Structure 1
Amino acid sequence: MTKKDGTYHHGDLRRALLAAAVEAIGESGPSAVSLRDLARRAGVSHAAPAHHFGDKAGLLTVLAAEGYDRLADTLRPVIAQTGSLVETGVAYIRFAVDHRAHFEVMFRPELYDRHDPAVLAARQRATETLAAAVATRGGDSGDARMDGLAAWSIVHGFATLWLGGALPADLGPDPEAAGRPVLRRLVDRP
């Protein structure tokens, strides 16, 4: 719907700006996002994004919280249905690929307000979900925290390497198929 001044009026401008941010991050990464560019993409005045988010950090804070929530929502059913650490790791990799913009923002806390209550709550939810996945592994290491850190490091590292195009080409085009044998090493180790 066009207003008299020629600007476009969105039914949900906040969501439209977040979608524009996801698109922009997909093209150039989170550091290159500008509120002025997002306004242009959404077809609104350059002041509109500031009205909703304050500044770039405010916008990225919302994306980070949304990303952590989506990650938890992605992993929970896999844990409930399979109880498999490997399949949970595969779901983590798929999340990174399917929600790359969120993934790239979530793990760059210098770009957003890491102390924001929504981020803290969402991150805690994702952390608890990952811990539940590690708990399915069992084992007798006696240090659940280190087990979780090891599992997360492997899964996150694989996802990051995949997204960066740094893995060998002979792994094929499917990140799940490529990641599964690597993740099996988590549960098949002595």
Structure 2
Amino acid sequence: MPYHHGDLRRAILSAAVDAITAVGSANLSLRDVARRAGVSHAAPVHHFGDKAGVLTALAEEGFDLLAEALTAAGDDFAEVGVAYVRFAVAHPAHFEVMFRPDTHHRDDPALAAARARAGAVLARGAARKPGDYNEVAAWSLMHGFATLWQAGALPARLGDDLTAAARGVARTLFQD
């Protein structure tokens, strides 16, 4: 299968997102990723080493995208929480991989740096409120809400407006 991509890394990561969306990260195969990318089955291995290498790069990309989304939300910490949920819903494949350290190389330096950038935005907002557990509380609340929203497990009374529902949940903990 000839290689015709200008950016092999991008092509493989995009194909991995498509595959995870279709079959989940647990069922991801590099052969399927290669097929979806239109490259030889050896290309993902050559570029990333193994399946965990592809998932590590995808998690790193996800944390970078998350850091951008959280930063763009500004200084209102509840809005940062809303941005977190919106990111999770807009990037479900990334979100799935980012928080599954058993699937990627969690000690990868680039991944650790990207994770730290996203965490710093959360920590900055949580530091405005007194208490030792605010960062974890905020993360747990919004991560849990995002997970429940994606699973369709929230009460119907919350409606179908993701932003309004996420804002309501975020404001319960982080009202200014």
TM category, shorter: over 0.9
Shift of 1:140: 3.5
* Aligned pair partner of 2:60 in 61, 65, 74: 65
1:129 aligns with 2:117: no
* Aligned pair partner of 1:153 in 128, 133, 140: 140
Shift of 1:134: 1.5
Shift of 1:164: 1.5
CA distance in 1, matches of 2:126, 2:14: 32
* Uncovered stretches (5+) of structure 2, i.e. residues with no partner: none
CA distance in 2, matches of 1:36, 1:28: 13
CA distance in 1, matches of 2:104, 2:50: 10
CA distance in 1, matches of 2:172, 2:162: 16
Map Cα deviations across residues 71-94 of structure 1 (whole Å, 9 max, x no partner).
Answer: 111111212xxx211111000000
Partner of 2:87: 95
The two structures, once aligned, show a CA RMSD in angstroms of: 1.5
Partner of 2:96: 104
CA distance in 2, matches of 1:147, 1:59: 33
Shift of 1:8: 4.3
Partner of 1:52: 47
CA distance in 1, matches of 2:140, 2:130: 20
Map Cα deviations across residues 149-185 of structure 1 (whole Å, 9 max, x no partner).
Answer: 1111101110111111111233222211111111111
User: What letter matches 1:104 in structure 2?
Assistant: E
Partner of 1:42: 37
* Uncovered stretches (5+) of structure 1, i.e. residues with no partner: 1-5
* Aligned pair partner of 2:69 in 74, 80, 86: 74
TM-score by length of structure 2 reads: 0.94
Indicate conservation of the 8 Å contact 2:78/2:175, yes or no. no
CA distance in 2, matches of 1:16, 1:99: 17
- Compared with structure 1, are the counterparts of its residues 173 and 48 closer, same or farther at alpha carbon in structure 2 (3 Å cutoff)? same
* Aligned pair partner of 2:8 in 5, 13, 29: 13
* Aligned pair partner of 1:120 in 93, 112, 117: 112
TM-score by length of structure 1 reads: 0.87
Aligned length: 176
User: What letter matches 1:175 in structure 2?
Assistant: L
Percent identity at matched positions? Answer: 60
Indicate conservation of the 8 Å contact 2:30/2:51, yes or no. yes
CA distance in 2, matches of 1:53, 1:149: 32
User: What letter matches 1:33 in structure 2?
Assistant: L
